[in-house]
A and B are shown apart, each in its own frame.
Chain A
Amino acid sequence: DVVMTQSPLSLPVTLGQPASISCRSSQSLVYSDGNTYLNWFQQRPGQSPRRLIYKVSNRDSGVPDRFSGSGSGTDFTLKISRVEAEDVGVYYCMQGTHWPPVTFGQGTKVEIK
């Protein structure tokens, strides 16, 4: 199974400041069709997860442009350019290249300092 490793696991951020979350996979996530199936999800307190980013860098509909995804191969990053209060929650990366099983990172908890 592909292991997804996120860092940091806890991320205190000052409002208006940037934040960055790293996600590394135990093997390359490039699929045979040339796509890289790496998604990012946000889970606000008490809510269901919501997909933010798909295939590394594509923002889902309604996702603010302060969220961006980048990376390739085995190293990926989610960046928030200026953290807002509504961004508090846990962020997960997920790989959909080598399944089954689909696998998630451990989650990174973003909180306001």
Chain B
Amino acid sequence: EVQLVESGGGLVQPGGSLRLSCAASGFTFSSYWMSWVRQAPGKGLEWVANIKQDGSEKYYVDSVKGRFTISRDNAKNSLYLQMNSLRAEDTAVYYCARDYELDPWGQGTLVTVSS
């Protein structure tokens, strides 16, 4: 069974940093693009970033460019999102999803940016 499990969310002050992780199992992780998508409380879905199988290509939504970094460790079947200079508007549930076609999704991890 394909499984994606996010972790690392929590409460952080504006300007702070957080690193999210996504542990993958049940498929050949190194064969797929991987993505992060977020959902602010009560709002819709927003794609954040994705990364190619070997990490050689990375893409970001404009609002996080220069602040967030997506990475992966294929030996550990893990995806990461390093989030720096966090803002209140980054408050959201962050999901990892397999492939750029976004199937399936993890259960999400909540990031709250507040003083």
Contact = CB atoms under 8 A, between A and B. Distances in A.
A39 B47 CA distance: 14
B44 A102 contact: no
Interface residues of B, number: 21
Contact of B47 (A48, A103, A107): A103
Contacts of A60: 103
A100 B48 CA distance: 10
Given A92-B44, A100-B60, A104-B46, A48 B102 contact: no
Interface centre among B46, B102, B104, B108 (most CB of A within 10 A): B102
Contacts of B47: 99-104
B102 A51 contact: yes
B101 A49 contact: no
A110 B95 CA distance: 22
A101 B103 CA distance: 17
21 contacts: A37-B101, A48-B95, A48-B105, A48-B108, A49-B37, A50-B104, A50-B105, A51-B102, A54-B101, A94-B102, A96-B100, A96-B101, A99-B47, A100-B50, A100-B60, A102-B35, A102-B47, A102-B100, A103-B47, A104-B44, A107-B44
